[in-house]
Amino acid sequence: MLKEIKQTAEVAGYLWEKGWAERNGGNITVNITESLDSATKALPAIAGPFPIGNTLPHLKGCFFYCKGTQKRMRDLARDPMSAGSIIRICADCSSYEIIAEQPVMPTSELPSHLSVHDYLLAKGSPYRASLHTHPIELVALTHSRKWMEKDVATRMLWSMIPETKAFCPRGLGMVPYMLPGSIELADATIKAIDDDYDVVMWEKHGVFAVDTDIMSAFDQVDVLNKAALIYIASRNMGFEPEGMTDAQLKELTTAFNLPK
Ligand code: 13P
Ligand code: ZN
């Protein structure tokens, strides 16, 4: 099995264990174009073509492993090819077909995932994986106007423990509530990523993260949610956490050569 698919199964198991993947919650897509052999690439379609809902010029002939819609992460962890499938983007750049192994329809969030992959390729980014999941504490933050303000949650999360800024150096973007699976949500997600975030919150819904591979995308969400847990633990102990100072965060930024 392809290493990217094995790694996706491992991450799906972590998502379930963390309680972030109730029922069919969350989805993963990985651009596997560079890892597939030519025989697999030449496989005939077993289903499709199906419309994407968007035209994505940089994805022509690309291949993705996608979690299936309504499929469970905990099932994907055990058997990735029954809870997901490999798709090929057609020459028209606006439709896809399923080539392996079973005709499992991809996630309902495909428009957001593929639009972001198109944007990343256009930019020459090395990022090949995108993750949408429902991390409890980060989602809870988005139920407050205060934390939805630009970079207010980022500042708080970074200040909880130095590793947060070191390993999620672009912070947490915020996207106001939009219908799951919609093109509007896809466009707003790209805009937030373009504003220089690797991880963005979908208000009252979940997180969307991109990175070189799916383990790294998971790690970014994991460090952010850990920081949220430290904030909550302090509040539960009866005090507002002090947080690292601006000077301490600045020192860290310089020492680790972080972007902002
Ligand atoms: P899918 O089962 O279609 O992937 O949807 C899960 C989800 O989290 C939608 O936002
Ligand atoms: Zn969701």
pLDDT tens, residue by residue, 38-94? 999 999 999 999 999 999 999 999 999 999 999 999 999 999 999 999 999 999 999
Across the chain, mean pLDDT equals 98
pLDDT of residue 92: 98
DSSP 215-257: HHHHHHHHHHHHHHHHHHHHHHTTS------HHHHHHHHHHTT
Listed in order, strand segments (DSSP E) in 101-195 are 129-133, 172-175
Q: Which of 23, 65, 87, 107 to mutate to test the pocket of ligand 1 (most atoms within 8 A of CB)?
A: 107
Residue 27: nearest ligand to its CA?
1
Q: What is the pTM of this model?
A: 0.98
Percent pLDDT > 90 in the chain is 98
Residues with CB under 6 A from ligand 1: 24-27, 67, 69-70, 107-109, 132, 180
Expressed in angstroms and rounded, the spacing between residue 76 Cα and the centre of ligand 1 is 13
- Output Rg (C-alpha) for the chain, integer angstroms: 19
Could you give the dihedral angle defined by the CA atoms of residues 47, 50, 55 and 58, in that order, rounded to the nearest 10 degrees?
-10
Is residue 87 within 8 A of residue 59, CB to CB? The reply is no
**Residue to mutate (ligand 1; options 71, 76, 132; most atoms within 8 A of CB):** 132
Instruction: List, for residues 143-181, the tens digit of each pLDDT value.
Output: 999 999 999 999 999 999 999 999 999 999 999 999 999
Give yes or no: 109 in active site: yes
Alpha-carbon distance values, 55 to 34, 60, 95, 166, 197 (Å): 22, 10, 8, 36, 23
Active-site residue (options: 4, 22, 109, 184): 109
In the reported structure, the alpha carbon of residue 252 is separated from the centroid of ligand 2 by a whole-number distance in angstroms of: 33
Per-residue pLDDT, 183: 95
